[in-house]
Amino acid sequence: MIFSLVILSLIIFFFLWILFGPLDFVANTFKEEYYFQLRKVFRISIIFDEDEIVFLNIRVFVIGFNIHPLQILTNPKEKKKGGKKKKKKEKRKRLQRIRTLQNMGLFALRLTWRTARTFKLRKLKLNIDTNNVVANAYLIPIFTILNGNRTQLSVNYSGQIGVHIVYENSVFLILRAVIKSYLKHRKHKLKF
């Protein structure tokens, strides 16, 4: 009985962590790191390589594996044989999709805006050189005023440019934005 309660409470805690845990979106050009992670659960990194150009490194808990999306896209697929009836059906389906997308355009904009507003900037580090000494000198006092706890803006004279951005969100906030947008869209759709 106690063992089953412990297991049940761990499962509930795990799902609550997935729902309310922090999702991090990080782009760091200093170290060339670009990843998306739910802390302690999974991490999806985009890695640029000279041979493979780009591949995804996915880690779930402690198990990691790589996916090469360009190889998946370049593999030829077998062509299906079909007559004129299939082409007509495909054309009708395509036209239906286009009409649906036109109707959903405003919904997509609202959804994107609501979802983007749920992201919180945790860290912004910008190190820039404009290759112009006068412009660099003008930027120094502006950057000094804009610096704060989350932002570190600096000017260098060595020709280096780098950005480190960390955004944080949670699955709960994203789902809430999606549901609100959908309900508002349905409400407006019923008025017409």
Taking alpha carbons only, the member of 41, 45, 22, 23 closest to residue 32 is 45
Q: Which residue has the higher pLDDT, 53 or 101?
A: 53
Q: Which residue has the higher pLDDT, 104 or 169?
A: 169
Whether pLDDT at 16 is above 80: yes
How many CA atoms, within 13 angstroms, populate the side-chain half-sphere of residue 4? 1
Residues 60, 64, 65, 70: what is their CA dihedral angle, to the nearest 10 degrees?
A: 70
Q: Which residue has the higher pLDDT, 68 or 129?
A: 129
Which element (helix H / strand E) includes 84? helix 84-117
In the prediction, which pLDDT does 192 show? 45
In the prediction, which pLDDT does 103 show? 60
Average pLDDT over residues 45-61: 81
Contact 25, 7 (CB under 8 A): no
Lowest-confidence pick of 3-7, 84-88, 146-150, 152-156: 84-88
Which tens digits make up the pLDDT trace of 124-151? 999 998 888 898 889 999 999 999 889 9
pLDDT, averaged across the chain: 81
In the prediction, which pLDDT does 98 show? 67
Could you say which DSSP state residue 36 is in? E
Instruction: Provide the whole-model pTM.
Output: 0.67
Q: Which residue has the higher pLDDT, 141 or 70?
A: 141
